[in-house]
Structure 1
């Protein structure tokens, strides 16, 4: 996790590596079930083939949904990296301003003590106070921008959750594939902190629960 000493909060939580790994897992194709053995005939064989066709159809839907989810996650990984680069830039600016403020605060104290004795030091004190106020204003602007970035970052994460929910297949096979929901719950935890208990089933619901 990045340390933001200038901003003093993390506006863009997330792990792009974990997102990429999750995308790869979603994109991995399921193996199709084997065909019925040659020479097998009769009612049992017919029933098996009928069920096999249904399973293959459902697996196709699941595979399509997983690949669509991988595309969504790839897009989020790019957004995440861009947001984090912006957060790092803002943090560097905030850290520099905090250091300048510390130096100017010392100057305000020094000139304030001397201002009681000479008019020249009184003027220097006024200039130091004005400089301190200007740096404070600049720091406030940087922090406000970081808070807007944080708000937009979380809003986009929720849009990703909604898109994952839209891609989730509704089939008997998908219901059995608990890994799909577990994957997105794990991803939500990596992105934006420990997940809250989900009260609804499914990948999108699990992801949204993790977003808080």
Structure 2
């Protein structure tokens, strides 16, 4: 990751790999099979009824996390593109700073001789400084665009979970930026925990094979 010594600041902060990892996590699917083979009785019927009740909730969670994954994929691409542009600007800024240092030394030397040579050296120095100012201005514009895009992504993620509308112009905090995704993932995980809890609370008198129920609960816990 570049330290942006030429620009003096990071115009496109972010970790595209971490965003892509969050997207991948959002796309993880929770499979909800039926009761283990051979499990019968009241407990099995109660479990099957619970599955029916939860299907709509589960499908909503899947749509939410899928949409969040699409949004995060788009943002990861934006981060990469903006960082490539930032590195180009930083590289040019470094070149210009070195050229400015050389030109400044040339002005000092030319000042002893005066005349057209000093005028030309000074003009060259001014030209390089103006070009550097232009590069820095471009980096500031990139930074503004990057932060605006981050706010739009944060708003989409919030709306996916809450459907709420935040006050216009509010700068999102870290929790606001990523809290929606975290809540969606937690809600999604909670569905698996509820299913596992139903199995684990099965009375000992149930006719369900202990090994099958334990394996299913374990599988849910690993999601």
Q: TM-score range by the shorter chain?
A: 0.7 to 0.9
Alpha-carbon distance in structure 1 between the residues aligned to 2:177 and 2:10: 29
Task: Provide structure 1 residue ranges, at least 5 long, that are not aligned to the other structure.
Answer: 116-121, 171-194, 207-212
- Which protein, 1 or 2, shows the higher relative CO under an 8 Å CA cutoff with sep ≥ 6? 2
- Residue 14 (1) aligns with residue 7 (2): no
Describe how 1:1-212 pairs up with structure 2 within 5 A.
1-32=1-32, 34-35=34-35, 38-41=39-42, 48-115=47-114, 122-168=115-161, 198=175, 202-203=179-180
Contact 2:154 2:178 in 1 (8 A): no
Alpha-carbon distance in structure 1 between the residues aligned to 2:16 and 2:177: 26
C-alpha displacement at 1:69, in angstroms? 0.7
- TM-score norm. by structure 1 comes to 0.72
Q: CA deviation digits over 1:33-56, x for unaligned, max 9?
A: 644874324xx7665544332222
Calculate the aligned-residue CA RMSD, in Å: 2.8
SS at match of 1:113: helix
State which drifts further: 146-155 or 160-169.
160-169
Alpha-carbon distance in structure 2 between the residues aligned to 1:131 and 1:87: 26
- TM-score norm. by structure 2 comes to 0.69
Contact 1:161 1:204 in 2 (8 A): no
Task: Provide structure 2 residue ranges, at least 5 long, that are not aligned to the other structure.
Answer: 164-171, 184-223
State which drifts further: 196-205 or 23-32.
196-205
Identify if the C-alpha distance between structure 1 residues 169 and 27 changes in structure 2 by more than 3 Å, giving closer, same or farther: farther
The equivalent of 1:180 in structure 2 is none
Alpha-carbon distance in structure 2 between the residues aligned to 1:113 and 1:74: 59
